[in-house]
Amino acid sequence: MIEEFGRLSKGDIISKFSDEHEPDPIAEALAEIERFQEEEGVFSSHRPSRLEFPLDRQQIRNRLEHSMEQLILEATDRCNLRCRYCTYSGNYRHRRVHGTQTMGWDTARLAVDVFADASRETEAPALSFYGGESLLAFELMKRVVGYAAKKVNHRLAFNVTTNGTLLKGEVVDFLVENGFLVMVSLDGPPEIHDRMRVYPDGRGSFHDIMSNLLALKQNYPDFYRRKVGFAVTLSLLDEVETVADFFAKNGELFAGRPVSVSHVDSIDTELFERGILPESDAGPLRRFYGGIEDALIAGTELSPVAKGLIGNNLRKLHERSPDPLGETVHANGICCPGARRLFCTVSGDLTVCERVNQGLTLGHVATGVDSDRAAELVEEYVALSAPDCLNCWAVRMCSLCFANIFSDHLDMSRKRTVCEIMRAQVLNNMRLYCSVRELNPDAFDRSDEAV
Ligand code: SF4
Ligand code: SF4
């Protein structure tokens, strides 16, 4: 009935559904839909006519020249682990494989120079180290931090993403001294973590990481509490409850720590054909979502994994714009390329972000960022996406971006596969959000970090 509303007249809708319902309940339902449409802007058949990026060419140029937010250095393309689902494992088409290089000092220095110049007006600039395993490039990191602290504006913050195996000794002292934000990859209990996150000889990395975390917490409790977070890759959906239990039960290490949860990228990969990952059963994930729903209705705090899995999306839904859809809609999740995050590869290419890695080049450390190229990328993305997005009900809840469209070019067939996944997630989140608010209307109004 909702689908026909606005397309057919009320009389036609009543006759279309007359075999299943009496006219009066249909008329009441239509009046209800109409009321929601007027008061809440939902069930509208209106579609916007323009997909736009919020910045024009000049504004893109200004962002790239004065207020760049984050430089991410691919400090090395080497890694001491061989995680089976790794993007660089050779199981992904269009992605590099593990390499042997560490970024040279000249490349790093030039990248910092580009960033120092381009972040003059940035409130809180950040310099992040990425890999491979960034801590394998510790000598370079020390030199870069010393140089960048003098060169970039005084509010500069440092981040590192690490597999946690080298998080000890002088490395830790250095990270603490420089106030690094440290994101450690940890997938759950040993039987889950060690199935995927292994050394080249096949040994699991769980126990090394846990003993490093315990020592870090013991030696620097305040730093641990404020600066350490975790990245979980959920390789099998049917293990979600076990993973969540692990983080909930080891409260001394994980309570109050941010946990981000991602899934293994299932596109352009041979992980499934090669039997590295079996297809998972989504039943346990549905049950887990049921538990999240119960917790939200009861007003109790979500577990770290539940928050990492869905918290941001629910908050985004709750804080959505109440305005009806106008003629123009913004291009979903794309950022100003190179301004929110500028990725510098080990050889000095400047690209859109670490997720597209070597693709979508915006320049080189020797020549800087080409803002015209950034603007062209946005225009190309918008032109390709507009026919689909303007007719998509999820357009204001969608967070797809360059990383989702890029294979070895801006690839709409790849993007459409991700669109299906995105729409299913948004629908799921909306169902959960509505069921919770029906029974606990204030569930999302809490000012603490419960959701
Ligand atoms: S630690 Fe990261 S880069 Fe290294 S193999 Fe694992 S997923 Fe890949
Ligand atoms: S799901 Fe796809 S079609 Fe829909 S808004 Fe997002 S990118 Fe556009």
Alpha carbon distance 308, 261 (integer Å): 5
Using pLDDT thresholds of 50, 70 and 90, give the confidence band for residue 451.
low
Alpha carbon distance 106, 56 (integer Å): 34
Note the pTM of the prediction, 2 decimals.
0.91
Tokens 């000249």 correspond to: 106
Query: Ligand 1 atom closest to Cα of 131?
Result: 3
Distance 190 CA to ligand 2 centre (A): 37
Distance 419 CA to ligand 2 centre (A): 5
Among 49-63, 360-374, 396-410, 413-427, which is the least confidently predicted range?
Answer: 396-410
Residue 377 pLDDT exceeds 80: yes
E-only strand ranges, 264-394: 328-330, 342-344, 349-351, 361-364, 368-369
Query: Ligand 1 atom closest to Cα of 88?
Result: 8
Tokens of 96: 């590099």
Show the CA angle centred on residue 42, arms to residues 39 and 45, nearest 5°. 120
Distance 423 CA to ligand 2 centre (A): 8
Distance 89 CA to ligand 1 centre (A): 8
Tokens 């691919």 correspond to: 74
From atom 3 of ligand 2, which residue's Cα is the shortest distance away? 389
Query: Ligand 2 atom closest to Cα of 426?
Result: 1
From atom 7 of ligand 1, which residue's Cα is the shortest distance away? 86
132 within ligand 1 shell (Cβ under 6 A)? yes
Residue 42 pLDDT exceeds 80: no
Residue 415 pLDDT exceeds 60: yes
Using pLDDT thresholds of 50, 70 and 90, give the confidence band for residue 205.
very high
At 448 the pLDDT is 53
Alpha carbon distance 372, 382 (integer Å): 15
Query: Ligand 2 atom closest to Cα of 398?
Result: 6
At 449 the pLDDT is 62
288 within ligand 1 shell (Cβ under 6 A)? no
Ligand 2, residues at Cβ distance < 6 Å: 332, 385, 388-389, 392, 394-395, 398, 400, 419, 422-423
Query: Ligand 2 atom closest to Cα of 391?
Result: 3
Q: What is the mean pLDDT of residues 252-279?
A: 92
Among 325, 329, 332, 416, say which to mutate for ligand 2: greatest number of ligand atoms within 8 Å of CB. 332
pLDDT per residue as tens digits for the range 108-155? 999 999 999 999 999 999 999 999 999 999 999 999 999 999 999 879
Query: Ligand 1 atom closest to Cα of 132?
Result: 3
At 447 the pLDDT is 53
At 37 the pLDDT is 80
Query: Ligand 2 atom closest to Cα of 388?
Result: 3
Distance 105 CA to ligand 1 centre (A): 23
Judged by its nearest atom, the ligand closest to the C-alpha of residue 197 is 1
Judged by its nearest atom, the ligand closest to the C-alpha of residue 85 is 1
pLDDT per residue as tens digits for the range 226-247? 999 999 999 998 999 999 999 9
Sheet holding 181-185, edge to edge: 259-263, 228-234, 181-185, 157-162, 126-130, 70-74, 342-344, 349-351, 361-364, 368-369
From atom 6 of ligand 1, which residue's Cα is the shortest distance away? 83
354 within ligand 1 shell (Cβ under 6 A)? no
164 within ligand 1 shell (Cβ under 6 A)? no
Q: Within 13 Å and on the Cβ side, how many CA atoms surround 207?
A: 2
Q: In the CATH scheme, what is the code of domain 67-301?
A: 3.20.20.70
pLDDT per residue as tens digits for the range 285-294? 999 999 999 9
163 within ligand 1 shell (Cβ under 6 A)? yes
| Domains in the chain: boundaries | 67-301
